[in-house]
Amino acid sequence: MDNVTLIAIISIATAGLTISIGSIGPALGQGKAVASALASLAQQPDAAPTITRTLFVGLAMVESTAIYCFVVAMIIIFANPFWNYIISN
Amino acid sequence: MDNVTLIAIISIATAGLTISIGSIGPALGQGKAVASALASLAQQPDAAPTITRTLFVGLAMVESTAIYCFVVAMIIIFANPFWNYIISN
Amino acid sequence: MDNVTLIAIISIATAGLTISIGSIGPALGQGKAVASALASLAQQPDAAPTITRTLFVGLAMVESTAIYCFVVAMIIIFANPFWNYIISN
Amino acid sequence: MDNVTLIAIISIATAGLTISIGSIGPALGQGKAVASALASLAQQPDAAPTITRTLFVGLAMVESTAIYCFVVAMIIIFANPFWNYIISN
Amino acid sequence: MDNVTLIAIISIATAGLTISIGSIGPALGQGKAVASALASLAQQPDAAPTITRTLFVGLAMVESTAIYCFVVAMIIIFANPFWNYIISN
Amino acid sequence: MDNVTLIAIISIATAGLTISIGSIGPALGQGKAVASALASLAQQPDAAPTITRTLFVGLAMVESTAIYCFVVAMIIIFANPFWNYIISN
Amino acid sequence: MDNVTLIAIISIATAGLTISIGSIGPALGQGKAVASALASLAQQPDAAPTITRTLFVGLAMVESTAIYCFVVAMIIIFANPFWNYIISN
Amino acid sequence: MDNVTLIAIISIATAGLTISIGSIGPALGQGKAVASALASLAQQPDAAPTITRTLFVGLAMVESTAIYCFVVAMIIIFANPFWNYIISN
Amino acid sequence: MDNVTLIAIISIATAGLTISIGSIGPALGQGKAVASALASLAQQPDAAPTITRTLFVGLAMVESTAIYCFVVAMIIIFANPFWNYIISN
Amino acid sequence: MDNVTLIAIISIATAGLTISIGSIGPALGQGKAVASALASLAQQPDAAPTITRTLFVGLAMVESTAIYCFVVAMIIIFANPFWNYIISN
Amino acid sequence: MDNVTLIAIISIATAGLTISIGSIGPALGQGKAVASALASLAQQPDAAPTITRTLFVGLAMVESTAIYCFVVAMIIIFANPFWNYIISN
Amino acid sequence: MDNVTLIAIISIATAGLTISIGSIGPALGQGKAVASALASLAQQPDAAPTITRTLFVGLAMVESTAIYCFVVAMIIIFANPFWNYIISN
Amino acid sequence: MDNVTLIAIISIATAGLTISIGSIGPALGQGKAVASALASLAQQPDAAPTITRTLFVGLAMVESTAIYCFVVAMIIIFANPFWNYIISN
Amino acid sequence: MDNVTLIAIISIATAGLTISIGSIGPALGQGKAVASALASLAQQPDAAPTITRTLFVGLAMVESTAIYCFVVAMIIIFANPFWNYIISN
């Protein structure tokens, strides 16, 4: 179990856990926001443009935290500075 | 337990856990959104086109986090850069 | 405990856990969606075609995350690239 | 503790855990759907045919995730490719 | 601690855990369904035949996941293929 | 710590855990059903025969999962095939 | 740490855990049932005989799962077949 | 760490855990029952005799599971058959 | 780490855990009962004597489970039969 | 790591955990009781004397379980009989 | 790792955990009480003196359990009798 | 791993955990209090001075438990008596 | 497993966990805020400018805690002072 | 694994965990406060200045606990007194 292998296995495990744990919060938050949007549309159909516009901005904000996790997972897999340092030495 | 085996077992375990943990949030969020859509349809049948259109956009947003997990799991199984590095050395 | 055995046991354990953990979210989400559909049908029987059509699309979306897990579990059991690599070397 | 024994014990433990963990979600989801169906029947007895038909389709969808788990548990006990490979070598 | 003993202890522990963990979900789901049925009967006594018939079908569906667990536990205790293989070799 | 002792201790621990974990779900489910029955009786005293009959059938269904656990615990203590095999060899 | 001691300590620990874990579910379930009975009595004092009779039958059903645990704990302490086998050999 | 010490420490730890874990359920259940009784008394003061009588019977039933735990803890401390066997040999 | 020290440390740790875990349930249960009593007093001030009398009986019942834990903790610290046996031998 | 040190560290850790875990339940219970008292005062200002008197008695009862924990923690730190025995031998 | 170091590290860790775990309950309880006070003030502004006075007494009671934890943490850091004994020997 | 290092690492880890765990309760409690204050303001705008004054006193009380944690974390990092003792010896 | 490798693996794992755990709270909080905004828009369409402005300020506040986590994760990956110290020595 | 490395890895891990765990409570608390503010604005648009002013003060209070965590994480990474002591010796 040399150093290269150790960093490889920790990178694989971390990348998977990062995106899987990081998807729980955003998915639940978006589900709640969408559910509320649909109930609002049913209650006040005339406000549909305002509601859907606010919904999409909100979904984008919530999605941003999921994207942070995805970015970190991709960095760990494809642009890992520690991995580059180890295999270049 | 050589290095190739170690990376293989950590890749298998991580791929499975990534998609299984990553499916909890999206499934619950989508279930909540669909449930709200159906209640809205029953309350305001005239707004059905707006409701279903907003629902599908919302479901797609929620599904995106599940797809992030699926993509990472597939990368770990079929396009794992660490695995490729180890078996080519 | 040689390498082939190690990969076999991790594959068996991961496949089982993937589908069992991955079935919790979709089952709860679908149950919630179905429950809401039935309450909606009782409240507005005239909207039955729209409700059931939306329900089936929603159930299919939720089922998709369960199917991701099932696909990964099947890949790990029957088309495991790491297993194929180890037993062919 | 040779290789055959190791794979046997991991197969037994995984099969049991797969079906037991995998039964929690579907059972709760089905219970929720049935409870909602009964409340709907009491509220709108005239819609009984539509409600029960939708209920059975929904229960079948929820049951499908439990069946995925049962199938994987049966594969692990009776058609385990890793077990077959080990005992044939 | 030879191989036969190992498989025996893992079989005993798995059988017990399978049925005990597997009984939580169905029992809660059935309790919820029965509770809803009784409230429905009190609200609409005239629909008693439809409600009780739907209840029994639903309870049977929920019970099915408990029975999967019971079947797997019985297979592990009385028809365990791995145990048969080990004690016959 | 010979083989007979090992199987004995795992049998004792599993039997106790099986029935104790397995009693949580049924007890909560039955409590919920009984609570709902009493509320229904107070709301619609005239439907008492139907309500109590449905209650007892439902309690029996819920009790069945507790009995599965009790049966498995008794099998593990008094009719354990693995124990019989070990002490007869 | 000989065999007799091992079985003794596992028996003591299992007996205590069995009854303590096994008392959570029944106590909560009975508390819920009693709470519902009292609310029903306040709402419909005329139905007191029916309510209390149904309550006592329900409490007995819930108590039964606690008694299963107590019986198993007593068997493990005072009529443990594994203990009898070990100390007689 | 001889056998007598081992049994003594496991007995002490088990006795404490049995009564502490076993007090959670009954205390919460009794709290719920008492809370419901008080609300019922405020709603229907005329039914006070029936309500308090039913309350006391219910509290006694819930207390019984706490008493099972207390009895087992006392047996483990003061009438432990395994301890008696060990110190008499 | 001789026997006397072992029994001393396990006694200290058990006594602390017994009373701390054992205080969670009774405190929450009593808080719930008191909260309900105050709401009832506000709703029906004329029933104050009955309500407060029932409250005190109920609090005493809930307190009893906390007292069981306190008694066991005191026995373990000040009247521990296992400790007495060890230090007298 | 001699015996005196062992007992000292277990005493420090137990004292801290006892009071910290033991403060969760009483604090939540008291918060609930106070919240209910304030809502009751707002609803029925004329019953203020009865409400505050009952509140203080109830808070004292809930506080008692926190005081049990504090007493045990103080005994473990300042009047620990096991510590006294060890350092006097 | 001599005795002085061991007691020092256990004291540091326990002090931190004691106050951090011990702050969860009181903070939540106080938040609940304050929230209820504000709702009561909005509902019945005329009872403001009684409400705020009762609130402050209640907050002080809840704060007392947090202060117990703070006192124990301070004793462990600055007046630890076990530390004093060890460094004086 | 000498003594100075050990105390340093336990101090770093404890300081971080103390403030992070200790921030959960106060943040949730303050969020609840603020939410209730805003709802009260909307319901009774005339009582704004009383409500905001009570809110700020309550927030300060809740904040106090967070500050206890912060103080302990700062003591552990910058005024740690155990660290001072070790590095001065 | 030399020092450079150790710091690399702990940095990778910590960066991933920091952003994944740190995304749960903000995502849920933002989802709740967006859901409330949409319900408010449906209830009072005339207040849309005030509601959306307050929503965006609130989302930014909640996002700030997610950004703290992202900043720390980035510092750990790309500007880690401990890593720089180790590889420069 | 010398002392410098040990302190470095514990500092990295603690900094990440501190800010990630410490962001859960404030994010949820702020989300709740913002949600309540938006509902209040919809209910009473005339009170907007008071509501938003109170909201911002409350958000700042909640944010303070997140900032405590951020400060401690920054101290541990960039101004760690233990690290400075170790690398200067």
**Mean pLDDT, residues H7-25:** 94
Q: pLDDT band at J3, cuts 50/70/90? A: confident
What CATH topology corresponds to H3-88?
Answer: F1FO ATP Synthase (1.20.20)
**Mean pLDDT, residues G23-52:** 92
pLDDT at position L88: 85
CB atoms within 10 A of CB G76: 26
pLDDT in tens, B47-78: 899 999 999 999 999 999 999 999 999 999 99
| Predicted confidence (pLDDT) at residue A27 exceeds the cutoff of 70 | yes
Superfamily of domain G3-84: F1F0 ATP synthase subunit C (1.20.20.10)
**Mean pLDDT, residues A51-73:** 93
**What's the CATH code, domain N3-83?**
1.20.20.10
pLDDT at position B88: 85
Residue K74's alpha-carbon distances to J22, K77, L16, L25, L69, in angstroms, are: 17, 5, 18, 21, 12
pLDDT at position B2: 80
Which chain E residues have a beta carbon less than 8 Å from that of D3?
A: none
Question: Across the interface, do K43 and J42 touch by the CB < 8 Å criterion?
Answer: yes
pLDDT in tens, K43-74: 988 889 999 999 999 999 999 999 999 999 99
Are B15 and B73 contacting, i.e. CB atoms less than 8 angstroms apart?
yes
**Mean pLDDT, residues G37-45:** 91
Q: pLDDT band at I3, cuts 50/70/90? A: confident
Q: What average pLDDT does chain C have? A: 92
pLDDT at position N56: 93
Q: What is the DSSP string of D14-75?
A: HHHHHHHHTTHHHHHHHHHHHHHHHHHHHH-GGGHHHHHHHHHHHHHHHHHHHHHHHHHHHH
pLDDT at position K59: 94
Q: pLDDT band at N4, cuts 50/70/90? A: confident
pLDDT at position E2: 80
Domain B3-80: give its CATH architecture.
Answer: Up-down Bundle (1.20)
Minimum-distance CB partner of I14 among H16, H35, H70:
H16
pLDDT in tens, C56-65: 999 999 999 9
Are H27 and G20 contacting, i.e. CB atoms less than 8 angstroms apart?
no
pLDDT in tens, J31-73: 999 999 999 999 988 889 999 999 999 999 999 999 999 999 9
Minimum-distance CB partner of D50 among C13, C36, C41:
C41
Which residue ranges make up each domain of chain H?
3-88
Q: pLDDT band at D87, cuts 50/70/90? A: confident
| Predicted confidence (pLDDT) at residue E45 exceeds the cutoff of 80 | yes
Q: pLDDT band at M39, cuts 50/70/90? A: very high
| Predicted confidence (pLDDT) at residue D89 exceeds the cutoff of 80 | no
| d(CA C76, nearest CA chain D) in Å | 11
Minimum-distance CB partner of M25 among N28, N45, N55:
N28
| Predicted confidence (pLDDT) at residue E70 exceeds the cutoff of 80 | yes
pLDDT in tens, E50-64: 999 999 999 999 999
Task: Round to whole Å and give the CA distance between A57 and A59.
Answer: 6
Are B59 and B30 contacting, i.e. CB atoms less than 8 angstroms apart?
yes
**What's chain B's Rg over C-alpha atoms?**
20
pLDDT at position D72: 95
pLDDT at position G62: 93
Which chain G residues have a beta carbon less than 8 Å from that of F13?
A: 10, 13-14
Q: pLDDT band at K3, cuts 50/70/90? A: confident
Domain M3-82: give its CATH architecture.
Answer: Up-down Bundle (1.20)
Which chain M residues have a beta carbon less than 8 Å from that of N69?
A: 68
Q: What is the ipTM of this complex?
A: 0.88
- How far from each other are the two terminal CA atoms of chain J, in whole angstroms? 17
Task: Round to whole Å and give the CA distance between D24 and D12.
Answer: 19
Q: Which of K82, K88, K89 to mutate to test the interface with J (most CBs of J within 10 A)?
A: K82
pLDDT at position C3: 83
**Nearest 5°: phi and psi at C77?**
-80, -50
Pairs of residues, one from chain L and one from chain N, whose beta carbons lie less than 8 Å apart: 175
Q: Which of J20, J61, J75 to mutate to test the interface with K (most CBs of K within 10 A)?
A: J20
pLDDT in tens, J7-24: 999 999 999 999 999 999
CB atoms within 10 A of CB L85: 14
* Type of residue found at G42: A
Superfamily of domain A24-81: F1F0 ATP synthase subunit C (1.20.20.10)
Task: Round to whole Å and give the CA distance between L89 and G63.
Answer: 63
Q: pLDDT band at G8, cuts 50/70/90? A: very high
| Predicted confidence (pLDDT) at residue H1 exceeds the cutoff of 90 | no
Residue written as token pair 């096991």: J82
Task: Round to whole Å and give the CA distance between D22 and M84.
Answer: 47
Pairs of residues, one from chain J and one from chain K, whose beta carbons lie less than 8 Å apart: 176
Q: What average pLDDT does chain N have? A: 92
Q: Do chains B and F touch (3 or more CB pairs under 8 A)?
A: no
**Mean pLDDT, residues D57-67:** 93
pLDDT at position B4: 87
**What's the CATH code, domain E3-81?**
1.20.20.10
Q: pLDDT band at G87, cuts 50/70/90? A: confident
**Mean pLDDT, residues A25-33:** 95
**Mean pLDDT, residues M4-33:** 93
Q: pLDDT band at E89, cuts 50/70/90? A: confident
Residue written as token pair 């389709």: D57
Task: Round to whole Å and give the CA distance between C44 and B42.
Answer: 5
pLDDT at position I1: 57
| Predicted confidence (pLDDT) at residue I10 exceeds the cutoff of 60 | yes
**Mean pLDDT, residues F17-39:** 94
Residue M47's alpha-carbon distances to L32, M53, M87, in angstroms, are: 24, 10, 58
